[in-house]
Amino acid sequence: MADRIQIRHATPLLPGERSATDPSRAVTLGVMGGGQLGRMFVHAAQALGYRTAVLDPDATSPAGLVSHAHVHTAYLDADGLARLADAVDAITTEFENVPAEALRRLAERRPVAPGGDAVAVCQDRAAEKAHFTASGVPCAPYALIETEAQLAAVPDALLPGILKTARLGYDGKGQVRVADRAALAAAWAELGRVPCVLEQRLALAAEVSVIVARGADGTVVHFPPQGNLHRDGILAVTTVPAPDVSPAQAAEATACAGRIAASLGYVGVLCVEFFVLADGALVANEMAPRPHNSGHYSIDACDASQFELQVRAMAGLPLVAPRLHSPCVMLNLLGDLWFDAVGRERTPDWAGVLALPGAHLHLYGKAEARRGRKMGHLTITAASAEAARATALQAAAQLGISAF
């Protein structure tokens, strides 16, 4: 399906110029959501010279703390949406679970990228998989389960599989591995009998992701495929260039991501995650209508980050193909690192980590460390992939992260 909501400004929103809708202020870019992705978007927008505004219900949200303005309301609050629209010239989102309806309402007054229709597809696993298929991109065999009849009709070939809630799942949440029909029925009950998708469990050789940026004029640029390692459903390590991915596989994944974005009528930054199967085939896993955890390395290892491209796409600025200037490894820093083996709070050894060559530390300004919570990331850049990996393993050992 094509997104009905498109960027409306005919000319680029240039940094530092006065707003055409409110000449009393400079051009301002808004973001729905105040987490770490919003924070890094705000940094990128401000580096280019834009004012920024964030809408988020958390008074101490990481993005709200560093933005010029923070609209502190719920995402569907009519007054809050009106205040954000009054304050900005274009709007984006920093996570996929911002209500699509909020983006549609904002689009009545301001350019929104990506639009609500595109985000709505990404919010529903069944719609997402249908879109992959319609775009000519293979995905894992699956079945939709919304009723007892659909549960009973699940083909035997889909077991063993992974049962996933159709909505609101991320970082491994809302997912249960099931070996047989009895386990499937129990898992669906455990998940509250909400609409789910059962995916066949496939033999995987690797996991990769591709980040593309698409402009309103149809221009598409991309980052190189990223090799990803997940632990407990949460991204742990990203390596770029992706190891053990052939040039042909990289080209195919990039082309597939571009087709998916084009068929959505997408404007903005889109990440598509792929499984590389044991036989070398690629299947799409899921997509995110925003910058992605696996692309955080681009801040330090590329000449334009995924967040700068997010700014450029929403503002109508030229999209220039980003260049990877340094091989790198990125480590996710979860709240577990703030606790020792017996559960006492501690401060990780930042001094030791920052003594390593090519170490770039990013902490997200979150007030409280919790196990499994993303608190920051560490990117190691080097002259070669081998050197980046070796230093990243040193950093992991110093921080208490398992080797990879």
Residue 337 annotated as lining a ligand binding site: no
Residue 230 annotated as lining a ligand binding site: yes
Residue 173 annotated as lining a ligand binding site: yes
Residue 286 annotated as lining a ligand binding site: yes
Q: How far apart are CA 296 and CA 220, in angstroms?
A: 19
Residue 170 annotated as lining a ligand binding site: yes
Residue 374 annotated as lining a ligand binding site: no
Residue 200 annotated as lining a ligand binding site: yes
Residue 249 annotated as lining a ligand binding site: no
Residue 172 annotated as lining a ligand binding site: yes
Q: Which two tokens stand for residue 391?
A: 């230093």
Nearest C-alpha neighbor of 226 from the set 209, 250, 204 = 209
Q: Which two tokens stand for residue 389?
A: 């990996």
Residue 285 annotated as lining a ligand binding site: yes
Residue 123 annotated as lining a ligand binding site: no
Residue 128 annotated as lining a ligand binding site: no
**Known binding residues for ATP:** 125, 164, 169-175, 199-202, 207, 230, 285-286
**Known binding residues:** 125, 164, 169-175, 199-202, 207, 230, 285-286
